[in-house]
Structures are given as C-alpha cells and as structure tokens.
C-alpha cells in the first residue's frame, strides 16, 4: 500500500469465519483498516453507513446474496470500489455484477498476492474517482462563483450613475447600462445594431477613429459635450471617455468601451469659481486703485498740497488699506470654515454676557447716527451654549454692526434672547433701510451688498453675513431673516445649547 495520511478502509463481507479472519490479518499487515461482516445484512449496514475505499463481497451468503449487498452499497456509496469473491462464478452473475458497478471478480481460493494486487488496483481507481470528483466540484464551484461575479458585476454596472456602452469592432452594440440612455440622450438601444448613428457627433468621431486604427493602441480619449434639454430642465454637461478594447493577442482593436459622466455639477462649480475670482478681483481692485491714486497725488511735486490735504489723503489711504485687510481676513475665515480647519475651543458661553459686552463696544458707532440699542432678556434665565467664544461673538458683532450700519439717523436696534426648546434664540432687529425681495434672496452670498440710493455711502466687504451663515451651519444651528424695504430687517439665530460639532 502506498504511504498516505490515512490508511485505506476495507470492508470484508463473508460468511466463512476462517476466511474473514485470514484475509483481515493479511490486510492489516499491509497497513489497511479492515471491518468485517459475517452476513449480507450486516454487510449492508456497514457498507451504507461508512464510506469504504474498497469492499470485498462474498457472492453466496445464507441470508442475502452478494449481488444485493453490492446493489445497496453502490446506491448509497457510489465511489466505493467493490469486488465479488466466489468459487461459483457464472456468466449471468458476472454480467449482473458488472452492471451494478462491481470492479471485478476474485476467484476463491486466492493467494495473498492476488488479494493485495486486486485491492491495490481498486484503491488506484478509487483515488482517480475521488480526484475527478474533487475537480468536478471545484469546477462547479468556480462556475458558480463566476456566474455570481458576473451577476454582481452586471448589477453594479447597472446601478452606476455613469453611462457605460460597449461596441464591437464593427461598431455594433454589445452592452450598455440604463444610465447610458440618459447621458447619450437616446430612448432605446438595440443589441447588435450600429451605434454610431445615435451617438453624439463628438463621441462618434473618436470611436470611429479608434476602430479604424489598424493596430491596437492603449490610449483613451475624452471629449465633453452638452445635452440640450427642454425649457423646463437645465442643460446637462457630459464628459465621455472612449477606450479601445484589445483582441486576445493585443495586436488589434476588438471594440470600444465608452464611459459617460455627468459633469454638470463640476461645470457649475467651475462657473462659480470664475464668478468668485471675478468678484474678488473687483473688490480688491477698488481699494488698491484708490490708495495708489492718493499716493500718486502725495508724490506729485507739482501739486502744492497743504498739510491738511496730505493728512486727508493719508487718512483715506489708511482707511482703504484697512478695508482691504478686513476683506482678506474675511476671505481667509471663509476658506477655513469651508475647509474645516478652524481651531475651536468649545466652552460654556453665557450669551447674555457676550451680547452685553458687544453692545457696550458698539455704542460709540451707534452714537454717530444717534441710534438707540435696546437689549431685552429674562434676568432669571441663563442663556448658555457650548461653543467657541470668538466665533459666536463675531456672529453677534456682524449682526449688530449691520443693524447699525444699515440703519437710519435716530433709528433703533432691538436685541433679545429667548429659550426655544433645545436652542437659544438671538434676535437682532433694526428700523433701518431694509431689503427688497430680490436682494433678500442673495443675502448670504459672498460679496453681496444691497445697492440702492440709500446704501451708496455704506462701505463693507459683503462677506460678513456669509461668514455668519457658514458659522451657524457648522454648529447645526439655523438663521432666519425678514426684511421690508424702507422699514428695516430682523435676523433670528438659533444656537443649540449642546455642541454637536
């Protein structure tokens, strides 16, 4: 017997005790594990419960014939190699045993060498059968896994927001996903149909060039195009990337895969970026140009400027440069907020104390326009929030500064604190200029400043309310605004008592 991890298991079914014992000893000496049965009933029980490598069955037994034992074992354990042992073999029994799957006959009496030879031959076949079974199961498992992966891949591709379209070397449709219909603006695509006719011209030109290339070149090409929707829907911008598919030898192009991506949002961001750069350039240009103008006047020796005029130009230059520095700082603050790089120190902040301090600080500016500031709160209530003190105080300062700046002579500003569920409500209301409805819609946009006959002499960066809105959003709070042109504005800020950032 060949050396293996486990000894081969042999079943011996024979009603002759001396033969059972003798054969068992011979097989055990060879290293086999042997089980014996003295009749057919016991043989069937053992042979159908244990998966033996080889079974040696006596043909004639008093209770059940060896043929019936063979039939029962082969039905339950088809991979067990069975030999019939008999001194009374006939043509009919040989044919029947062979049909039932018997490996062969061992004629009694047999020598130990004959026995071992047949057992080894049976074991060799058994190993081949088991190996073939293992390979079959592995192949079935691989096929099942492949089918599962293919199904999963199809599901994934069908769920992609990007459109995927595959054509063969003749430009015929091979595969597409639902998103391709929308991004190529077609109602339906039929498999095996010529696809060039329904593709956008920009994509068709690239795909045809790839397929007309005599040799395979692993280079992808991209193109952008615009889908014109109806009047109720905005335009869609699409970027399509065409990639060649190689044949098996990677010498020729077997097809083209086209991936279409909706880049409308990126285009919008690009446009917003351009507008932002344009606005920043415009806002920076004015104070720089004014300062240069004043400095040119101061440096012109031909002008006989008095000391008062020189001081006035210097003061104006300083004012312009300070406004420029304020704008730069505001831009940096917006950038830090959006990039989430602001370093916050969360503390328990008493809003009543902060508001009172800021009101006292702003009273000098209010007095210039004879504006009265009223601060109302419940003296017995504590208005505490968990927040970064400088950030929240900047929010309050911006709102109060605007209420003074955009107010009228002898106007009033009303500040109040209230509890509103899990929030503390800060309201800043003025009796000032107010805003028109179209101005209110752009209230929290960068660089927006209401421009009318009443705001001509009011300077600012147009970034204050944008910073306020972004800051409140970072605290999971909310801000509301009401305004009526000619009557004033009211801002309500809801700050959560517990920090959620």
Return the CATH number at 41: 3.40.50.2300
Q: Is the pLDDT of residue 205 over 80?
A: yes
Q: Is the pLDDT of residue 457 over 60?
A: no
Provide the pLDDT confidence category of residue 1 given band limits of 50, 70 and 90: very low
CA distance 287 to 320: 5
Asked whether the CA dihedral 438, 441, 445, 450 is positive or negative, the reply is positive
pTM above 0.75, yes or no: no
Q: What is the arithmetic mean of pLDDT over 6-28?
A: 90
Q: Where are the alpha helices (DSSP H) in 51-188?
A: 66-76, 91-100, 112-159, 178-183
Q: What is the arithmetic mean of pLDDT over 259-284?
A: 78
End of a domain among 339, 359, 388? 339
Q: Which domain holds residue 179?
A: 161-262
In a domain, 326, yes or no: yes
Q: Are 333 and 239 contained in the same domain?
A: no
The SS3 of residue 177 is: coil
Residue 420, beta-bridge partner list:
423
What is the model's pLDDT at position 338?
A: 65
Q: Are 43 and 178 contained in the same domain?
A: no
Weakest-pLDDT range from 34-48, 91-105, 434-448? 434-448
Whether 467 contacts 393, CB under 8 Å:
no
Q: Are 400 and 435 contained in the same domain?
A: yes
CA distance 308 to 325: 26
What is the model's pLDDT at position 339?
A: 67
Q: Is the bond preceding 109 in cis, omega lying within 30 degrees of 0?
A: yes
Q: Are 353 and 451 contained in the same domain?
A: yes
What is the number of domains present in the chain?
4
Q: Are 388 and 450 contained in the same domain?
A: yes
In a domain, 145, yes or no: no
Provide the pLDDT confidence category of residue 3 given band limits of 50, 70 and 90: very low
Q: Are 361 and 440 contained in the same domain?
A: yes
Query: In the chain, what percentage of residues exceed pLDDT 90?
Result: 29
What is the model's pLDDT at position 4?
A: 46
> Domain of 409: which CATH number?
3.30.565.10
């Amino acid at each position: 017997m060949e050396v293996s991890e486990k000894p081969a298991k042999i079943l011996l079914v024979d009603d002759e005790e001396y033969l059972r014992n003798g054969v068992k000893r011979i097989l055990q000496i060879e290293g086999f594990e042997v089980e014996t049965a003295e009749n057919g009933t016991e043989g069937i029980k053992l042979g159908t419960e244990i998966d033996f490598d080889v079974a040696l069955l006596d043909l004639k037994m008093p209770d059940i014939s060896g043929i019936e034992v063979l039939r029962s074992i082969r039905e339950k354990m088809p991979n067990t190699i069975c030999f019939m042992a008999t001194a009374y073999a006939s043509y009919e029994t040989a044919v029947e045993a062979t049909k039932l799957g018997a490996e062969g006959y061992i004629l009694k009496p047999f020598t130990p060498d004959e026995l071992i030879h047949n057992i080894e031959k049976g074991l060799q076949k058994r190993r081949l059968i088991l190996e073939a079974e293992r390979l079959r199961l592995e192949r079935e498992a691989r096929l099942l896994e492949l089918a599962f992966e293919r199904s999963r891949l199809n599901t994934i591709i069908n769920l992609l927001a990007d459109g995927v379209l595959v054509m063969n070397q003749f430009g015929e449709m091979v595969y597409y996903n639902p998103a391709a219909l929308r991004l190529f603006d077609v109602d339906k695509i039929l498999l095996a149909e010529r696809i060039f006719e329904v593709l956008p011209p920009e994509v068709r030109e690239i795909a045809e060039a790839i397929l007309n290339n005599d040799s395979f070149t692993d280079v992808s090409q991209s193109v952008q195009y615009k889908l014109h929707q109806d009047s109720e829907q905005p335009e869609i911008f699409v970027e399509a990337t065409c990639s060649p598919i190689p044949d098996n030898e990677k010498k020729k192009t077997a097809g083209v895969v086209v991936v279409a991506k909706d880049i409308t949002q990126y285009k919008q961001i690009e446009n917003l970026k351009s507008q932002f750069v344009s606005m920043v350039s415009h806002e920076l240009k004015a104070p720089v140009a004014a300062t240069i103008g004043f400095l040119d006047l101061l440096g012109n020796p031909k002008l006989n400027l008095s000391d008062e005029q020189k001081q006035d130009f210097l003061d104006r230059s300083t004012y312009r440069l300070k406004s420029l520095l304020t704008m730069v700082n505001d831009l940096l603050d917006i950038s830090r907020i959006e990039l989430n790089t602001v370093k916050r120190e969360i503390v328990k902040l008493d809003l009543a104390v902060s508001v009172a301090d800021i009101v006292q600080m702003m009273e000098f500016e209010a007095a210039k326009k004879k504006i009265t500031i009223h601060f109302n709160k419940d003296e017995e209530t504590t208005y505490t929030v968990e927040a970064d003190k400088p950030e929240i105080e900047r929010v309050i300062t911006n709102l109060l500064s605007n209420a003074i700046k955009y107010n009228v002579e002898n106007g009033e500003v009303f500040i109040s604190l209230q509890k509103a569920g899990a929030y503390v409500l800060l309201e800043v209301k003025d009796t000032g200029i107010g805003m028109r409805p179209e101005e209110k819609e752009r209230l929290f946009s960068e660089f927006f400043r209401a421009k009318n006959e009443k705001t001509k002499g009011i300077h600012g960066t147009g970034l204050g309310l944008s910073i306020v809105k972004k800051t409140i959003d970072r605290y999971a709070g909310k801000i509301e605004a009401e305004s009526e042109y000619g009557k004033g504005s009211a801002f309500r800020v809801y700050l959560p008592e517990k920090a959620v950032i």
